[in-house]
Amino acid sequence: MTHGPFLLSIGGDGVAAATEFPVIDPATGEPFATAPDASEAQLDLAVAAARVAFLSWRAVDVAARRAAMRAFADAIRAEAEALAALLTREQGKPLTAARREVAVAADRIEGTAALDIGGGYLREGPQGPVRLDYVPMGVVGVIAPWNAPLILAMQMVAQALAAGNAVVVKPSPFTPLTTLRLGEIAARVLPAGLVNTLSGGDALGRWMTAHPGIDKIAFIGSTATGKKVMASAAATLKRVSLELGGNDAAIVLDDVDVAAIAPRLFSSAFVNSGQLCMAVKRVYAQAGIAEALAHALAAEARRMRLGNGFEADVDLGPVQNRPQFDKVLAIIQDARARGGQVLAGGGALDRPGYFIAPTIVTGLSEGARLVDEEQFGPVLPILAVDTEEEAVTRANATRFGLGASVWSGDQTRAEAVARRLEAGTVWINGHGGAVPDLPFGGFKESGIGRGMGVAGLRSYAEIRVIHGAH
Ligand code: NAD
């Protein structure tokens, strides 16, 4: 397999940078390619190219915009196998999951293109008809994380383009390569400069949030960085969409069939090795079933086959990067120090790369890092509660509010609990999943605004009301 060269995409051209940085394969811990480290001057060029492209794209009618975006999605699908292999190499996820990610990224572009942003005639006013239009903002800076690099970057790009904007996209420095490839594809099938892709470190993100030529920042990443993005964007009053971290609770009531739900609950927590914003990160189980559930989840954990994503029949890959690997191990250490009982897993595998055995911990309470923080890795606490009331109170006792779920055999009971949860999405007897036509995002410090759905699309536009628009 060849890797590279990888180029920035600026104004439709592939461009090298003066310096490069290594990209590490998380399954080995070794560098396998390099990515260009974009300079501030290259950001200026990309923003200027995006501005020019925007001036034409905003005038393109919706049907033609949709057709162009469908062509982009199809061009991604045509290269799915190569993209998936590169994604597994840089991100670590099993090849089957990488293939799914490429397919979902393409589907999000197409699904977003199909949304109707709305607007039009409102009512009569003193000057005659009043109409409301959703007007594109200009240049959107897209900043993405490393856990699902293609899906997340492309859902932001798709909303920006569908609303009539041009974009400058910055992938995470841990997973820049597949996004650079998508930049090349975009340069082939979309108007030059509409989608510019720049890889670089965190400094590039800071330059984007401060750049006077960028009108809006669409950011998906951690809550800590999201706060910095918002603070920096304040200087130019850039619009921001922030889709941030979560600490999703799953509340399991005592009327469930434990054996039936355990595999689904397990995969909702450990998919992508737990590195998912909307993964289950805390389980509050009623005392009657808590122990049985913890043991059933531990059995699932022991069944998992870990390995390099290219190996056959691998269920889970490594943690994506060294800092995250160290953080998850420290969180497991803290759990042990606070008296947590480790029912399965409990540490790193004795092999190269960033592999951590899927870990189930009981006997903890609030105050442990594993309960209070977003672990974002393959470790899950099971916490026993007596009543529904206690479960709701503890589930809501967090600064996060992204997702939550209720598991029960009784629909009325489940729904009553669901309606009390402070989270942007609540699932009943399931957990996880996002689609282009439904708004997704968080209460509290899990974000500002919503991505996807018509609400998400509208957040990439200004509202203009015209009085007397005959
Ligand atoms: P991160 O915040 O460390 O980095 C995200 C991006 O921000 C990267 O591209 C990074 O280079 C850039 N960045 C870093 N410092 C910056 C700065 N000061 N200004 C501008 N940009 C800067 O997040 P991560 O570790 O890559 O991703 C994991 C986090 O993302 C988790 O908290 C997860 O829950 C969250 N996430 C949220 C959603 C959602 O939809 N809510 C989806 C996926 C991931």
DSSP 62: H
Q: Are strands 461-467 and 128-136 parallel, antiparallel or unpaired?
A: antiparallel
Pocket test for ligand 1, best of 23, 220, 376 (most atoms within 8 A of CB): 220
Nearest CA, atom 39, ligand 1: 243
The structure's pTM equals: 0.98
Q: Is the CB of residue 69 less than 8 Å from the CB of residue 110?
A: yes
CA distances from 245 to 121, 318, 363, 399, 441 (A): 38, 20, 25, 10, 10
Tell me how far the alpha carbon of residue 301 lies from the centroid of ligand 1, in angstroms. Answer: 27
Strand partners for 360: 344, 380
Q: Residue ranges of the chain with pLDDT lower than 50?
A: 1
Tell me how far the alpha carbon of residue 416 lies from the centroid of ligand 1, in angstroms. Answer: 33
Tell me how far the alpha carbon of residue 235 lies from the centroid of ligand 1, in angstroms. Answer: 21
**pLDDT value at residue 455:** 98
Ligand 1 nearest atom to the CA of residue 402, by list position? 41
Residue whose tokens read 């061009």? 75
Nearest CA, atom 17, ligand 1: 206
Q: Where are the beta strands (DSSP E) in 203-262?
A: 216-220, 239-243, 249-252
CA within 13 Å, CB half, 59: 5
Residue whose tokens read 């029960």? 408
Count CB atoms within 10 A of the CB of residue 240: 21
Tell me how far the alpha carbon of residue 109 lies from the centroid of ligand 1, in angstroms. Answer: 21
Ligand 1 nearest atom to the CA of residue 221, by list position? 30
Active centre residues (catalytic): 243, 277
pLDDT in tens, 28-66: 999 999 999 999 999 999 999 999 999 999 999 999 999
Cα–Cα distance for residue pair 10/153, rounded to 1 Å: 17
CA distances from 255 to 36, 135, 258, 413, 429 (A): 55, 50, 9, 10, 12
Q: Any residues with CB less than 8 A from the CB of 130 and at least 6 apart, and which? A: 121, 122, 123, 124, 465, 466, 467, 468, 469
Pocket of ligand 1 (CB under 6 A): 143-147, 152, 170, 172-173, 202, 205-206, 209, 220-222, 225, 228-229, 243-246, 277, 374, 376, 402, 447
Ligand 1 nearest atom to the CA of residue 441, by list position? 41
Cα–Cα distance for residue pair 178/155, rounded to 1 Å: 15
Ligand 1 nearest atom to the CA of residue 201, by list position? 11
Pocket test for ligand 1, best of 222, 228, 275, 322 (most atoms within 8 A of CB): 222
CA within 13 Å, CB half, 449: 24
Count CB atoms within 10 A of the CB of residue 350: 6
DSSP 89: H
Q: Is the CB of residue 188 less than 8 Å from the CB of residue 13?
A: no
**pLDDT value at residue 419:** 98
Pocket test for ligand 1, best of 143, 211, 219, 242 (most atoms within 8 A of CB): 143
Pocket test for ligand 1, best of 101, 154, 172, 400 (most atoms within 8 A of CB): 172
Q: Is the CB of residue 427 less than 8 Å from the CB of residue 403?
A: yes
Distance of CA 96 to the CA centre of its chain: 18
Tell me how far the alpha carbon of residue 287 lies from the centroid of ligand 1, in angstroms. Answer: 36
Ligand 1 nearest atom to the CA of residue 277, by list position? 34
Ligand 1 nearest atom to the CA of residue 146, by list position? 26
Tell me how far the alpha carbon of residue 254 lies from the centroid of ligand 1, in angstroms. Answer: 36
Map residue 57 onto helix, strand or coil: helix
Instruction: Tell me the torsion sign for CA atoms 259, 358, 103, 150.
Output: positive
Q: Which helix (H) or strand (E) holds 288?
A: helix 287-303
Ligand 1 nearest atom to the CA of residue 442, by list position? 41
**Which DSSP string corresponds to 338-369?**
TT-EEEE--SB-SSSS--B--EEEES--BTBH
Q: Is the CB of residue 168 less than 8 Å from the CB of residue 196?
A: yes
Tell me how far the alpha carbon of residue 352 lies from the centroid of ligand 1, in angstroms. Answer: 26
Cα–Cα distance for residue pair 168/157, rounded to 1 Å: 9
Tell me how far the alpha carbon of residue 14 lies from the centroid of ligand 1, in angstroms. Answer: 26
Nearest CA, atom 11, ligand 1: 202
Nearest CA, atom 38, ligand 1: 277
Q: Which helix (H) or strand (E) holds 135?
A: strand 128-136
**pLDDT value at residue 2:** 53
